[in-house]
Amino acid sequence: MDIRNIAIIAHVDHGKTTLVDKILHATKVFRENQDTGELIMDNNDLERERGITIFSKNAAVEYKGVKINVIDTPGHADFGGEVERVLKMADGVCLLVDAFEGPMPQTRFVLQKALALGLKPIVIINKVDKPNCRPDEVHDAVFELFFNLDATEEQLDFPTFYGSGKNGWFNDSLTQSEDITPLLDGIIKHVPQPKVSEGPLQMQITSLDYSSFLGRIAIGKVARGTVKENQPIALMQDGGVIKKQRVRELYVFEGMGKKKVSEVVAGDLCAVVGLEGFNIGDTIADADNPEALEVISVDEPTMNMQFSINNSPFFGRDGKFVTSRHLRDRLMKETEKNLALRVYDTDSADSFMVYGRGILHLGVLIETMRREGYELTIGQPQVITKEIDGKKHEPFETLVVDVPQEYASKVIDLVTRRKGEMLVMETKGEMQHLEFEIPSRGLLGLRTNMLTNTAGEAVMNHRFSEYKPWKGPIPGRNNGVLIAKDNGTTTGYSLDKLQDRGYFFVDPGEEVYRGQVIGENNKPGDIVVNSNEGKKLTNHRASGSDAATNIAPKREMTLEECMEYIQQDECIEVTPVNIRMRKVILDENERVKQQKRMSAEAV
């Protein structure tokens, strides 16, 4: 059968998943009257809540007798590890670019990987129905990006399609077509058939799936030969390990699901059931003539965090999995499918160092574990430094900010204070487009500050660029925090009297414990406050003294905001029900002793 394997790549929010929806509808995967909703491929709860793709997924459609395997990829830089491995399954890529924003940092990152693998690109300029869109300028910018990334002559001669995914049309010119069939015709015409070399079976595992009925499922593209049901195979792993195993069942992709088959020929994507102990990057090879494919290389992590068991006074109230064994098993299981993640043991049996691509990458892991019933404590995120030529180096990122012109000076001030350097400043319609180079440390807590200072108008994106010499200290949070003095329940009376000290992360009637961070101080320095004191009642009433309390609502903090907010001596308690910030040392006297010890050591 005629086959085309395409990956859809783009910056976050440029419309990849919407395009996949339209392809599924155009090729009649669903019944006419079937209610499918939007963003069909984003079927994970977290993806639907956040409106972003986190895990790459496969679908297969048939158009004019050709089977098109479509791979939907994440657009966020923190999930680049997902994209790097699934591109191995594709023979061509559809690069989706917003007709107003043009190529963005993640566009460059993913495109670089695709071009290096020699994939044939098709450029799709989406959202041409938006006001202020500039498709011709964006096309020139895309060509320049291809040129800068050392694309070959053949790759530079890319076909371009224009359209609007939301309105369901794409055409090879700016004139509106009836539907997206011109794009599907273009995919069949321009994307080559899978390259198939002669020889015995070779298939690299590039993705994992799990079924409670079938167990772990290996997914990849058959690069050579044929894989059959009940066939004995050699599983080739890193370090020259070869395991003899047998394929139990085989599935190919069909529509949104999978179809059981007896054999799969080279060039098609398939799911293999029955293998044990495999990892992403392993090769399924012929049992008699095993030959391994090159192992998938994934960029290094840039950030680490300490994951520990929950040791707060409220330990074990909300979660099912609370021991260090539970935590370790879950983290190790995650490393099997999350290639950009690393987990290391520490001196303490209760703590683990987890390395990832960024705040969002680690935040999604913590949020997933929390929903599964885990309780844990996480420390402040730290960037990973390296020693190069005897000098300390740290990761730097390219930061891109689009902001209304009246706020541009505030953005520049915020970024330069955090050791960022401006590289580009240009006007795009009514927006100012700014590009900076900034240490990864400088990004911690920057998003919240920037949204506050730009009335929520700033659009900020960043991606890792390279390691550069250490830039020196970066100012962190200026204000101190309000810390609960005792265990108990907060009262409206106490919070009302403390309002002039700062604002709170708790409401009246919430249970708190000694050492918990319950608010932000208006000034530098931490204050321990009594938030649990009730009003002493007498049998006398005085006019005016019983005025109703008027307390400002608490400030809700998301997990990522808490991760950016905490300092070195603080941590976050995460349970299925609550997210609380607290001091690492809960007792105030112990904290004072610790500070004195550290000051003495520093001297």
497 falls within a domain: yes
Say what the pLDDT of residue 80 is. Answer: 65
Distance CA 397, CA 360 (A): 15
Distance CA 144, CA 147 (A): 5
Are residues 12 and 156 both part of a single domain? yes
114 falls within a domain: yes
Counting as low any pLDDT under 70, the low residues of the chain are 1, 29-55, 75-82, 540-549
Would the annotation count 478 as a binding residue?
no
590 φ, ψ (degrees, to nearest 5): -65, -40
* CB of 227 closer than 8 Å to CB of 250: yes
Q: Per the structure block, which two tokens stand in for 577?
A: 């029900």
Q: How many C-beta neighbours within 10 Å does residue 114 have?
A: 23
380 falls within a domain: no
- At 165, which amino acid appears? G
Say what the pLDDT of residue 131 is. Answer: 79
Are residues 262 and 390 both part of a single domain? no
The model's pLDDT over 10-37, given as tens digits with 9 standing for 90+, comes to: 877 777 778 887 887 777 765 554 555 5
Say what the pLDDT of residue 47 is. Answer: 57
CATH code where residue 92 lies? 3.40.50.300
Would the annotation count 448 as a binding residue?
no
Q: 3-state DSSP call for residue 328?
A: helix
Distance CA 195, CA 204 (A): 14
Of 143, 159, 190, the last residue of a domain is 190
The model's pTM: 0.80
300 falls within a domain: no
Are residues 98 and 183 both part of a single domain? yes
Would the annotation count 127 as a binding residue?
yes
79 φ, ψ (degrees, to nearest 5): -105, 25
CATH code where residue 229 lies? 2.40.30.10
Distance CA 298, CA 279 (A): 14
Are residues 7 and 144 both part of a single domain? yes
Are residues 275 and 223 both part of a single domain? yes
Secondary structure (DSSP) of 253-285: EEBTEEEEESEEETTSEEEEES--S--TT-EEE
Q: 3-state DSSP call for residue 345?
A: strand
351 falls within a domain: no
Say what the pLDDT of residue 504 is. Answer: 92
Secondary structure (DSSP) of 126-185: E-TTSTT--HHHHHHHHHHHHHHTT--HHHHS--EEEEETTTTEEESSSS--SSSHHHHH
Are residues 515 and 432 both part of a single domain? no
CATH code where residue 463 lies? 3.30.70.240
Are residues 59 and 133 both part of a single domain? yes
Would the annotation count 14 as a binding residue?
yes
Would the annotation count 175 as a binding residue?
no
577 falls within a domain: yes
Are residues 148 and 237 both part of a single domain? no
Are residues 12 and 119 both part of a single domain? yes
Are residues 9 and 149 both part of a single domain? yes
Distance CA 465, CA 363 (A): 21
Say what the pLDDT of residue 54 is. Answer: 65
CATH code where residue 492 lies? 2.40.50.250
Say what the pLDDT of residue 33 is. Answer: 47
Burial 117-140 (b: 16+ CB within 10 A, else e): eebbbbbbbbbbeeeebbbeebbe
Contacts of 572 (CB under 8 A, 6+ apart): 377, 378, 559, 562, 563, 566, 579, 580, 581, 582
Say what the pLDDT of residue 518 is. Answer: 93
Would the annotation count 13 as a binding residue?
yes
Say what the pLDDT of residue 79 is. Answer: 67
Question: Please, which contacts does 259-263 make with residues 24 or more away whose CB atoms are closer than 8 Å?
Answer: 261/229, 262/228, 262/229, 263/226, 263/227, 263/228, 263/229
Q: How many C-beta neighbours within 10 Å does residue 479 have?
A: 13
Structural domain of 521 = 481-537+550-602
Distance CA 557, CA 517 (A): 12
**Number of structural domains the chain divides into:** 4
424 falls within a domain: yes
Would the annotation count 209 as a binding residue?
no
Would the annotation count 326 as a binding residue?
no
Are residues 224 and 79 both part of a single domain? no
512 falls within a domain: yes
Q: Per the structure block, which two tokens stand in for 284?
A: 């399924």
Provide the sign of the torsion angle of the four alpha carbons 358, 364, 370, 374, taken in this order: negative
* CB of 182 closer than 8 Å to CB of 172: yes
Of 190, 211, 235, the last residue of a domain is 190
Of 255, 286, 317, the last residue of a domain is 286
Q: Of 81, 144, 54, whose CA–CA distance to 464 is shortest?
A: 81
The residue written with tokens 């895309």 in the block is: 142
Would the annotation count 126 as a binding residue?
yes
Are residues 124 and 18 both part of a single domain? yes
